[in-house]
């Protein structure tokens, strides 16, 4: 299957300073990909290159079989900026009708687009009276004009409440099921982990990790913590048997590598008469994210 977006060995420098270095990636039709990275990692720069707003310093970028910025690419790519602003005096319907005209589309479908993003009821109200979540939906309706093959969404859910976020991702699921590719940036790791197919992590302009969360978890090989609650009075016995254990709150904690996990469990199991409870704590999403996006060398 041909990729909707292919990037190979992309570099972008601003006055000699590298914002992107040797970045390669591809996004297939129907795929939902999350782009993660701390402030200044290069996410916006990457999006600007894909949209054809800035030229790469090196490497190849192909968007819907065209070069970024070419008419064939622009027709098929939609963009939702992080803080989309609209004319507050226009109604949602007027704003979307206006954008449809700009894109040379039949404006008869404006109301249907607004209904699709859950704004049908407010379509004839001025945008100035909309909540943040409603304005974000106007942005999404704008991005859906012309049934784009690639949606580039810059932190699309920032500022949305949990219900609006869920609605938003359900809408994206439907678009992806119809074959659209989605590339979205986010700082909300927990959220994108559950709602996208693949994660890309940029750090200092380099692609430092790529895969599903289980892939990244495996590759990072971060330690696993085990929290042990001792039967009254047996703390010292357990600490003697497990010299690496430390006191954490009311209990004891021991850390081990993924490989040592079963052996450690076996040792704890030998102490079963002295242990009330055991909780295994895998590395959190934040631990994994920090592992990959640490600011080494910046």
Quote the least distance from Cβ 198 to ligand ATP, whole Å.
Answer: 18
Whole-number minimum distance, CB 96 to ligand ATP, in Å?
27
Minimum gap (Å) between residue 14 Cβ and ligand ATP: 3
Per DSSP, the residues of 45-57 read HHHHHHHTSS--S
Nearer to ligand ATP, 2 or 14 (CB): 14
Which CB atom, from 33 or from 175, has the smaller least distance to ligand ATP? 33
Closer to ligand ATP by CB, 11 or 255: give it. Answer: 11
CA 196 to chain centre: 7
Q: Choose between 158 and 253: whose C-beta lies nearer to ligand ATP.
A: 158
Question: Based on CB atoms, which residue is closest to ligand ATP, 201 or 238?
Answer: 201
Q: Which residues make up the interface to ligand ATP (CB under 6 A)? A: 14, 19, 37, 39-45
Rounded CA separation 16/8 (Å) = 20
Question: 247: which strand partners?
Answer: 252
Could you tell me the smallest distance in angstroms from the CB atom of residue 45 to ligand ATP?
Answer: 3
Structure tokens at 112: 């249907």
For ligand ATP, the closer of residues 131 and 298 by Cβ is 298
Smallest distance from the beta carbon of 249 to ligand ATP, in angstroms? 35
The distance of closest approach from Cβ of residue 246 to ligand ATP in the complex, given in angstroms and rounded to an integer, is: 36
Quote the CA–CA distance of 284 and 222 in Å, as a whole number: 10
**How many Å apart are CA 30 and CA 150, to the nearest integer?**
9
Burial 154-172 (b: 16+ CB within 10 A, else e): bbbbeebeeebbebbbebb
At closest approach, how far in Å is the CB of 210 from ligand ATP? Answer: 16
Kindly tell me which of 120 and 159 has the beta carbon lying closer to ligand ATP.
159
Yes or no: say if 169 and 176 are a contact pair by the CB < 8 Å rule. Answer: no
């Amino acid at each position: 299957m041909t990729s909707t977006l292919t990037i190979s060995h992309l570099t972008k420098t601003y006055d000699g300073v590298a914002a992107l270095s040797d970045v390669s990636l591809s996004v297939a039709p129907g795929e939902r990909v999350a782009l993660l990275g701390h402030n200044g990692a290069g996410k916006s720069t990457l999006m600007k290159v894909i949209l054809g707003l800035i030229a790469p310093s090196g490497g190849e970028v192909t968007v819907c079989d065209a070069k970024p910025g070419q008419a064939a690419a622009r027709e098929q790519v939609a963009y939702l900026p992080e803080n989309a602003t609209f004319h507050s005096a226009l109604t949602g319907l007027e704003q979307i009708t206006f954008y449809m005209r700009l894109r040379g589309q039949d404006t008869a479908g404006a109301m249907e687009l607004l209904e699709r993003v859950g704004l049908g009821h407010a379509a004839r109200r001025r945008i100035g009276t909309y909540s943040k979540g409603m304005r974000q939906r106007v942005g999404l309706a704008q991005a859906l004009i012309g049934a784009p093959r690639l949606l580039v969404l810059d932190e699309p859910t920032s500022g949305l409440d949990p219900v609006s976020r869920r609605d938003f991702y359900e809408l994206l699921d439907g678009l992806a099921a119809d074959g659209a590719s989605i590339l979205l940036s986010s700082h909300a790791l927990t959220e994108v982990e559950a709602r996208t197919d693949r994660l890309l992590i940029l750090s200092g302009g380099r692609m430092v990790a790529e895969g599903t969360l289980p892939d990244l978890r495996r590759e990072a090989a971060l330690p696993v913590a085990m929290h042990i609650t001792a039967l009254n009075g047996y703390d010292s016995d357990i600490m003697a048997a497990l010299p690496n254990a430390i006191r954490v709150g009311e209990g004891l904690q021991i850390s081990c590598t993924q490989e040592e996990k079963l052996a450690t469990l076996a040792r704890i199991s030998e102490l079963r008469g002295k242990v009330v409870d055991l909780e295994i704590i895998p590395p959190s999403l934040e631990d994994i994210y920090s592992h990959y996006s640490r600011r080494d060398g910046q």
